[in-house]
Structure formats: C-alpha cells, structure tokens
Structure 1
C-alpha cells in the first residue's frame, strides 16, 4: 500500500536520508521510530509530497508521489502532533469546513465517520469543549474525509494521559483491521509503539537500522541451564552452529530467533542434560540499543508504562 524504495535526501551539505526503504501493508499499524533529528519528519514530508527526494521512489496504492502527485495524495490522510481546529465551531462544522477545501469531495457521511473514530453523538459539541483525546480523534476523522488508504500520524499520543493513549491505541488497531487501512505512526515513544505496532522500522542518522515484526522478534534471548561441567562444551557447540552465546552465572544466554528454540534444544540434548530453557523477547528499547551500539550510538528515548 505504501512503499518507500531507496530514498535519499540531502539538504545543503547534510545528508538527511540515506537509501531509506520500507513498506506498510493494508491493515497494518507500522511504527516509524527514532530519536529527534533521525529523519522521521523528512521522510514523512517526502511521503506527503511536501518535499521531493533526490533519489528513490515513493508509491501510495501504486501511484508515484512525484510523477502522479495528485492521484497519490488522494490516497493519503495525515495529522501532525496536536491537530488545530476552530474551537468556537462544532466538530461537524470543522469537518464540513475541511471537506469544502478538498477538490472534488462532494459527499461525506459524517455520522458514519463519527462512529468510526469514536465520536458518535459528539459532533454537535463545540470543539472548545472537547478533551485532547477527542480532538485527536476529530483530527483523524478530518484525515479520513476523502477515504484515504494510508493514514500517517506524527506523534499522535503527545499530550494524552495514559487513559487517552490506551483508548487511541485500541481504536487505531481496530480501524486498521476493519477498514484495511495502512497506518504509519512516527514516534520516539518506544514503550507505546511496542503495544500498538505490528511491525516497525528504526531510523537513526538518516539510515534504516532495522525493520522487524513486534510479535515475532528476530532478536530473542534464549536462556538455558545445563550442568556446570558441560557449560564450556555447550557454548562451543553453539558457536560452531552459529548461535551467539555467552555465560551468565550458571546460565547460557543465546541470541537467536525464537523459532530456533527447538533446533537449539536438539543440539544441546546429546551433549548435556537440559535443566531449563526459557525465552525472553527483547523490548523495543533493547532492540534499538542492539542495532545502534555497533556504531557507538547513544540516544535517550521517552517511555510509557
């Protein structure tokens, strides 16, 4: 649905994006993660046609953002941080005003749209009476007026309390599934993105460092315990089989995909009694540190509980 292929961008002497590639599928919530200044906003500006890349292509539902700009942009809805509205107008009046600014858009089922975003019965209220969470949902409704196939949200949980964040999370996941919309969420809130995303990309210094599935991580930690006398032989067997392993007290820690657990167990059993085997999936924070520490990067991220 949304495809970014080998996109690079230079501003002045600075290389902002370097060979950026990833895809977002229909029905998927895709997290776009990285510290401030990593290239997230530049990428979004290119996707939405506000900035043109130097190299590479961006297509939305098959339309090239540069060469088929009008057709591509009709497929995209977007909100950036806290959406702005006329607070003295009702929710519906704000939506009608926005609809009138979209060429060729003649009819909108506002009640159906309100139900979709969780504002059923609330459009008659003035926006000045809305909570921040309601304003975020109204912003999403505005982004969906023209029935786009791709929804782009930049830091959508900014300013929301924990209840509002949880509500928005459940709503977005349900909408992606039920409406078959591809949702791209740009954020630096790793803990929150871990709960909402199906997959994610980590961008740092303009480079995509990793594209992974949240539900089936390639960087799981497999912890085993064998008799002390066998630890050295087991670690050597794992090394030969290309499973990175290290000793931690009386355990052996293996970094490998969770799907490799049966193969690892079969490898160990002929060598030693397997007293314990557990799997710990790495958090997004741990994964980020793993993919960046090779180059000595160190970034602070915000977290939600």
Structure 2
C-alpha cells in the first residue's frame, strides 16, 4: 500500500445557522487504501462527503485532493474524483450506454475501450442498451459506479454504494473496490451501514458521532489484535462442572450461563496453549478450543454505548 495522501481533511467544519453539523473533522486517505466512514444516522457523514466534493459550502477548514485545495482550486482538486453521493444521477429516458457516452463527453481521455471495460466490470453487459427507467435499483447503482470510475479517478467516494445490490452484487463490488485500491493505487472513501461488509472491505475506518471524529483505527487492530478476547472450549457436557472449577481455580472467568458442551471465557490468544494443556492434564476431553474474534459491528456498538 502506498503512503501518498490523496485526500486530506483539515479541521473541516459545517455550520447551519447556529448549529454545528460537522465539527473540525480531520483525517486522510492514502493511495491504495479503502477507508470506511462510519457513524449513526445524523452523525454528519453525508454532509462531510458533500463538502469534500464541493456540493455544499465549507464553513471552516479545508479539503485537499491530490495536493489541491477544494476551497482555493476546485477545478484541479475535483478533476480526478469519482463518486456516488446518495443516489446516482442518471438520465432515465436514455439507455445505460447512452448515459455513459454522455458522461464521457464531459471528461477528457475516456476511450470507447474504457467504456466497454467499465460495462463489463460492473456486470451490465446484457442490459446496457436498455432504458435506465426500466433498471432496478441495483442496476442503477451499478451504472452509477460505472460512471464514477469511467475517467480513472485517483479518489473514489461512495456513499452507501451497496443500496439495492443483492448478495452477489455486494460481493462483486467489494472485490472490485479492493482490486482498484490495492492493485491500481486508487484511494477509496466509502460510507455504509453494512458493518460486516465494511469489515471485509476496508483497511481503516473512521467513526463519526454528532459531527465529531471519535476514532480512526486499522481494521486489523480494531478487530483481531486485541490482547483480550473470548475463547470457546467444546467439551464433554458431563465434565462441565469440573471444567468450571479448574478454570476458575486458574483465575479465568467463565461466561457460560448454564451447563452445556461449550464454555466461553475471557482469555488472551497467548493463553490458549496453557488452557489446553491445563485441561488435558486434568483428564478433560477437549473437542475444540478457539478464539472468538470481535466483529466491527460489536466494536462500533461498544463505541456508541461508551459515549452515551
């Protein structure tokens, strides 16, 4: 992954009358990474994205794209940006192909080969000549993505890009975004409520709450690299009480509520070999022992709960 910063937000602020919608938000997105923008409804995510793309005026602070200021040099800053903000803006009375041709006229350097390539990439080959008015929501979303990537942007901004996509379409979108980020060096900023998808897709995430950025974390450290996690042990149910006594004697807290063939306890990954040996030495029949990874959704909800 490259370290070049393609997008930089510096103390970005939006005020409407006396209300602060976005409050001094600062972060960057590097070439070759997918940055997930998270937050509950009303947190200010879409407002931030609209300021980044120049769709609404910035109250304070600035946005820099490829070294150009949105505030002072909008044309150069926005030149290499592609995006879908809220819903794709399409001509419904034209075909999908005609929409792409119309958009290609607005930007320099888009060849017929590139148009054909993006049609294939987004999976619209069979329906590209149908009128957009007859498209499903998912097909319109695919066509919007095709428009967004048509001119080889260095920054791709997607606000809820999975709206209307079926599971196969979501999977294909995820794979494509990872491809253009990690292989072609495109910086991707994506906002979505599908936290399970964000966990699979993103390299880093930023969490916005009530207009303030409360956390910026690598996905790997946020989800996998915690010193303490839960461990699940599968045993013979007849030995449940004995196992609980052994574990509590070793200082572990067993979280299982009633006797069963599974126990869940708080432990670090490094303690799993010790747990395994201790129980085996005591004659316990262990069928499996494994760490339980925390999900992005769990971590996100914990953040929100901790700020109430």
Is the shorter-chain TM-score for this pair beyond 0.5, marking a shared fold?
yes
Partner of 2:80: 75
Asked whether 1:182 is paired with 2:195, we answer no
* Contact kept? 1:34, 1:204, Cα under 8 Å: yes
Shift of 1:227: 7.6
Residues 158, 230 of structure 1: alpha-carbon distance in 2 compared, 3 angstrom cutoff: closer
Selected match of 1:282 from 267, 277, 294 = 294
CA distance in 2 between counterparts of 1:141 and 1:127 reads: 13
* Contact kept? 1:224, 1:274, Cα under 8 Å: no
CA distance in 2 between counterparts of 1:53 and 1:228 reads: 61
Secondary structure at the aligned position of 2:220 is classed as coil
Partner of 1:299: none
> What number of residue pairs does the alignment pair up?
275
Q: How does 1:121-136 map to 2 (within 5 A)?
A: 122-136=127-141
Residues 141, 228 of structure 1: alpha-carbon distance in 2 compared, 3 angstrom cutoff: same
Q: How does 1:88-237 map to 2 (within 5 A)?
A: 88-102=93-107, 105=108, 107-109=110-112, 110-120=115-125, 122-216=127-221, 217=223, 218-219=225-226, 221-223=229-231, 228=245, 231=248, 234=251
Partner of 2:38: 33
> What's the RMSD between the two structures over aligned residues?
3.1
Selected match of 1:85 from 60, 85, 90 = 90
Shift of 1:234: 4.4
Structure whose alpha-carbon radius of gyration is higher = 2
Partner of 2:66: 61
* Contact kept? 1:5, 1:21, Cα under 8 Å: yes
In structure 2, stretches of 5+ residues that fail to align are: 1-5, 234-242, 257-262, 281-285
Secondary structure at the aligned position of 1:143 is classed as helix
Residues 23, 228 of structure 1: alpha-carbon distance in 2 compared, 3 angstrom cutoff: farther
Shift of 1:81: 3.3
TM-score scaled by length of structure 1:
0.76
CA distance in 1 between counterparts of 2:87 and 2:55 reads: 19
Shift of 1:96: 2.0
Residues 26, 121 of structure 1: alpha-carbon distance in 2 compared, 3 angstrom cutoff: farther
TM-score scaled by length of structure 2:
0.75
CA distance in 1 between counterparts of 2:292 and 2:230 reads: 6
In structure 1, stretches of 5+ residues that fail to align are: 236-245, 255-259, 297-305
* Contact kept? 1:8, 1:20, Cα under 8 Å: yes
